[in-house]
Amino acid sequence: MSPDTLHTPPPRRLRLAGIIAAIVVLAIVVAGVATRANDSHKLREWTDDQAVPTVNVVSPEGGQGGGDLNLPGRLQAYARAPIYARTSGYLKYWKADIGQKVKAGDVLAEIETPDLDQQLLQAKADLASARANEALAQTTAKRWKSMRDSDSVSKQEVDEKTGDYDAKHALATAAQANLERIQALKGFAKLTAPFDGTVTARETDVGALINAGGGGQELFVVSDTRKLRMYVNVPQNYAPSIRQGATVKLTVPEYPGQTFTGTVESSSSSISAATGTTLVQVSVDNQDGKLLPGAYASVTFDLPGNVALFNVPASALVFDEKGLRVAVLDAQNKVKFKDVTISRDMGKTVQLGSGIAKGDRLIESPPDGLADGDTVRVNAPKKAEADHAKA
């Protein structure tokens, strides 16, 4: 220690110590203010950052629009003929029961017709009488014609005899027609199968009273089940996609896990105003007889692809007072809402027919309050989305 230091007056040392202390205090204050300012800046940045919503982005799957269209239907026999009686009487016997295979022309039952039998006898007698009168009138007309040649009778008398013969001939023809009519009715006493098939209903029994005509009771039903038909109501949106000759798949509850095939035969080529659908006829081969007419079935149509349709998650849709929309992001992650239309609702995903384009980035589950022009933060894409983008 130097002699000058030893002899420094005490007040000077005190002033120096005070200055040092003030500097230290000032440094502490400055550091505190700087720290608070930095914290306040970070807080403002964090607050502003939190005000920007973070969203997930999905890409529409375009160029598809195909897939399966499942619709219900009911199987029917390709040919079905209810059998009614054409003549009245009592059922004498029946020979075919339900489930029995029959050939065209096989006798199903016979009707006993006592009234018709008497009419047949009367018609035969009427015909015999008419023919006898016709023969007498013919002989008379010939005789009078020969007498006219010798001027024994007048021409008027000959014309009368000839006219009488013509009338008697007409009566004989009518009697013949009446007899044939009754004989034809008698032929209907035997009920026969109109084609090869299966008896699917028998609604009569021995001794039952049978009334003739379509207004009477349905006695039998013969169905050709070797081939079945199915009528399906296809919604208007998909009617143009169902082509004649297309192959379809069918499933029935009684054969779980088993699939049958059918062919689109025709359609009504019109839209029902009541249901908004078009009627499509599907034929199904049933040579093995596994499928039963009248059974419920589910038919699956394979729809062709359509590049104008896009599949998106249903959560990307926004429905409010402005209609049905989706939120799309531009290159600067700014929001723009677009109006869309749904072509097909498949549950978790929907098929959009208009409003978006390939390459659009759609916000999945847009948050409430989002508006056009808002900026959002995009989460890292999901693996499936990233794979799709690479593809």
Single out the residue of 360, 76, 381 nearest to residue 227, CA to CA.
Answer: 76
Asked if residue 227 lies in contact with residue 283, where contact means CB atoms within 8 angstroms, the answer is yes
In 10 A of CB 365, how many CB atoms? 13
Helix (H) or strand (E) holding 44: helix 10-51
Is pLDDT at 8 greater than 70 in this prediction? no
Report the SS3 class of residue 257: coil
Please tell me the predicted confidence (pLDDT) of residue 9. Answer: 55
In this structure, the strands spanning 349-354 and 310-313 are antiparallel
Please tell me the predicted confidence (pLDDT) of residue 146. Answer: 80
Looking at residues 348-376, what average pLDDT do you find?
Answer: 81
Distance CA 190, CA 89 (A): 12
Is pLDDT at 299 greater than 90 in this prediction? yes
Is the full-model pTM beyond 0.85?
Answer: no
Single out the residue of 182, 187, 181, 215 nearest to residue 107, CA to CA.
Answer: 187
Please tell me the predicted confidence (pLDDT) of residue 6. Answer: 46
Looking at residues 216-237, what average pLDDT do you find?
Answer: 90
The overall longest dimension of the chain from CA atoms, in Å, is 202
Considering only CA atoms, give the Rg of the chain: 49
Asked if residue 328 lies in contact with residue 59, where contact means CB atoms within 8 angstroms, the answer is no
Tokens of 324: 């049905």
Length of the chain: 391
Please tell me the predicted confidence (pLDDT) of residue 389. Answer: 47
Distance CA 54, CA 350 (A): 24
Report the SS3 class of residue 315: helix
Tokens of 25: 């205090």
Is pLDDT at 313 greater than 80 in this prediction? yes
**pLDDT digit string (tens) for 158-171?**
788 889 889 999 99
Please tell me the predicted confidence (pLDDT) of residue 51. Answer: 59
Asked if residue 220 lies in contact with residue 199, where contact means CB atoms within 8 angstroms, the answer is yes
Tokens of 380: 């890292």
